[in-house]
Amino acid sequence: MNPDQLIEGLTWFVVFIFSTTLHEAGHALVAWKLGDPTAYEGGQVSLNPWPHIQREPVGMVLVPIISFALNGWMMGWASAPYDPGWAHRYPKRAALMAAAGPAANLLLAVIAGLLIRSGLAYRIPGAIMPVGILFMLNLLLFAFNLLPVPPLDGSAILPMFMSDNAARRYREFLHQPMFSLLGLLLAWKVFPYLFEPLQAVALSLLR
């Protein structure tokens, strides 16, 4: 790996850690405010990445580094704990908790997009690469996590539009390991076709 690749990899890693930390902190903060202190007590209501890395060291460190070495971009995962009993009692609150993670990524993508569109990123030495990565990575995380298949956040947001009883039955139905595996396989196959037009529209808005 040459110095330029090393710098690019470190930039990707910092942006990835920051973005996933904000995503999980969003989940944790909303859950705490709506009555579930589980993630708060675990230290996840924080922009300090260390509690998040401690919880998911493989998804937040090992997999991102390996994926960058193999593909030139990073993928991985993180998670925030929550009380399933609380989610069962308050399915709409749990849906808001689920929505908070993608919302955090959308916020970061919008901020990065505004910096690029306004030209501020171009006037700050060394800023254009991290800001560009911040924009694309968070656009991807926002869109991918909104897919309505388990275990992605999009599937947990749907109860917001159901009655409480229907939402509880829906959550019980989806919380089976088989559905999570099938959901990830489906998302992996379908997402590139959905993201390509979204990416084209987002890039056109930057011009």
What's the domain range around 17? 3-205
Looking at the chain, list the stretches that DSSP marks H as alpha helix, in order from N- to C-terminal side. 3-33, 38-41, 49-55, 57, 63-71, 84-89, 91-118, 120-123, 128-145, 153-157, 164-174, 177-205
Higher pLDDT, 192 or 34: 34
Over residues 150-169, the pLDDT tens digits come to: 889 999 999 999 898 898 88
Per-residue pLDDT band at 20 (split at 50, 70, 90):
very high
Number of domains in the chain: 1
User: Is 24 a known active-site residue?
Assistant: yes
Joined together, the tokens standing for residue 60 give 């937040």
Q: Which of 24, 41, 56, 172 is catalytic?
A: 24
